[in-house]
Amino acid sequence: MVRLLIAMILPWLTFFTIGRPLAGIICLILQITIIGWLPATIWAVYALSQYKTDEKIQKILLQKEE
């Protein structure tokens, strides 16, 4: 929930919290422009949802191995 809030307010910071610093820098450059703020926010929310999905898949795979 906190990461979603961060994704909406400071989209570039979201990428650093999920371990994608290069994407965070690119997002920050995009966010610097007023026009780029909305695409940066959408990109951050999408990346966050993909990160959560990847975490769930990893959790399921680890459970199957046990």
The pLDDT of residue 5 is 86
pTM over 0.95: no
CA gap 66, 54 in Å, rounded: 19
The pLDDT of residue 34 is 79
Q: Which residues, given as ranges, of the chain have pLDDT below 50?
A: none
Q: Three-state SS string across 8-37, please?
A: HHCHHHHHHHCCCHHHHHHHHHHHHCHHHH
Half-sphere exposure of 36 (CA within 13 A, CB side): 11
Question: 3-state DSSP call for residue 15?
Answer: helix
CA gap 36, 46 in Å, rounded: 15
The pLDDT of residue 44 is 92
